[in-house]
Amino acid sequence: MRISIGNRQRFASGLIFLAIGAFGMIDGARYRLGSATHMGPGYFPFVVSAVIALLGLASAVTSLRATPPKRVVVWHLIPLICVMAGIVAFGLLVERAGLVLAIAAVVVLGCYQRLLSRPWEVLVIGIVLVVMSVGLFIHGLGMPWQAFPS
């Protein structure tokens, strides 16, 4: 029997909440629960996770017969991966290789679409941002960061 889902987004988010709630209940029980009058560190997370799980379940169930939303959702995964990679690269580089290289990584990865079509634009953006950041944060505000690899 094929189940037709009315509102797909709400169904998916409902399932996600259910999963998070379940995880929270299992992991939260690791900590001492205590009682309602003398709560341990695990009590509150456990109860909140249960609430999330219930709401997720309710959301998923009601979404089955809901009216479908008007907009079509497209999942562009490449921007997601590239931008996240850029941010992570910043974290990896800023202390090991200095601010300049970290910024360069963010710009290059963030502008992945244009690296071949408009490389000069990317370069100019990168240089401007580097100069502004180093000028403002390291020289202007005296943050104890390295600009270049030491």
Partner 1 sequence: MLKRRTLVGMPLALAASRAAWAAAADTYPNRSVRLIVPYPPGGGGDAVARIIAPKLQDALGQTFIIDNRPGAGASIGTDMAAKAPPDGYTILETPGAALTVNPQLMTTPYDPIKDLLPIAMVTRARMIYVCAPSVPVKTMQELIAYAKANPGKLNFGSAGNGTITQLSWEMVKIATGIDIVHVPYKGSGPAINDLLAGQIQLFSESVLLPYIRAGQMRALAVSGDGRWPALPDVPTVKEIGLTGVNPSAWYGVFVPAGTPAAIAAKLSAVVLKIAADPEMKGKFDAIGMEPMPLGPEAFAKVIRDDIATNGEVIRKAHITLD
Partner 2 sequence: MSILHNLAMGFSVAVTPQNFLYCLIGAFLGTLVGVFPGLGPVTTIAMLLPFTFKLPAVASLIMLSGIYYGAHHSGSTTAVMLNMPGEPTSVVICIDGHPMARQGRAGPALSIAALSSFFAGCVAVLIIACFSPVLASTGLLFGPADYASLIVMALVTASALSAESLTTTTAMAALGVLLGTVGTDVNSGTIRFAFGQPALADGVNFVAAAVGLFAFADVITHVGTLHQRVPLSAKITGLLPTRADLKASWKAILRGTAIGSGFGILPGTGPLISSFASYVMERQLATDRTRFGNGAIEGVAGPEAANNAAALTHFIPMLTLGIPAGAANALLMGALIIQGIAPGPLLISQHANLFWGVVASMWIGNLMLLVLNLPLVGIWVRLLAIPYRVLYPAVLVFCCIGVYSVSNATFDVYLAAGFALIGFVFKQLDCSPAPLILGLVLGPMLEENMRRALLLSRGDFSIFLTRPISLSMLIVTVALAVIFSRSAFRDRQARLANPQ
Lookup: tokens for 27: 């992991």
**CA dist 104 → 27, 97, 136, 143 (Å):** 39, 11, 17, 19
146 binds partner 2 (CB under 8 A): no
| Range 102-131, binding partner 2 (CB under 8 A) | 102-103, 106-107, 110-111, 113-114, 121, 125-126, 129
Least Cβ distance, residue 1 to partner 2 (angstroms): 25
Longest dimension (CA), the chain: 67
Nearer to partner 2, 1 or 44 (CB): 44
Least Cβ distance, residue 3 to partner 2 (angstroms): 19
| Range 63-82, binding partner 2 (CB under 8 A) | 67, 69-70, 73-76, 78-80, 82
Given the structure tokens 């408009």, which residue do they identify?
118
6-45 burial string, b = 16+ CB within 10 Å, else e? ebeebbeebeebbeebeebbeebeeeebeeeeeeeebbeb
User: What string marks each residue from 14 to 33 as x (binds partner 2 by CB under 8 A) or -?
Assistant: x-xx--x---x--xx--xx-
Q: Considering CB distances under 5 to 8 angstroms, the limit depending on partner class, which of partner 2, partner 1, none binds residue 101?
A: none
**CA dist 28 → 15, 37, 94 (Å):** 19, 18, 35
> By the criterion CB under 8 A, which residues form the site for partner 1?
31-32, 40-41, 142, 144
41 binds partner 2 (CB under 8 A): yes
Nearer to partner 1, 39 or 129 (CB): 39
Interatomic CA distance for residues 22 and 1, integer angstroms: 27
Nearer to partner 1, 40 or 69 (CB): 40
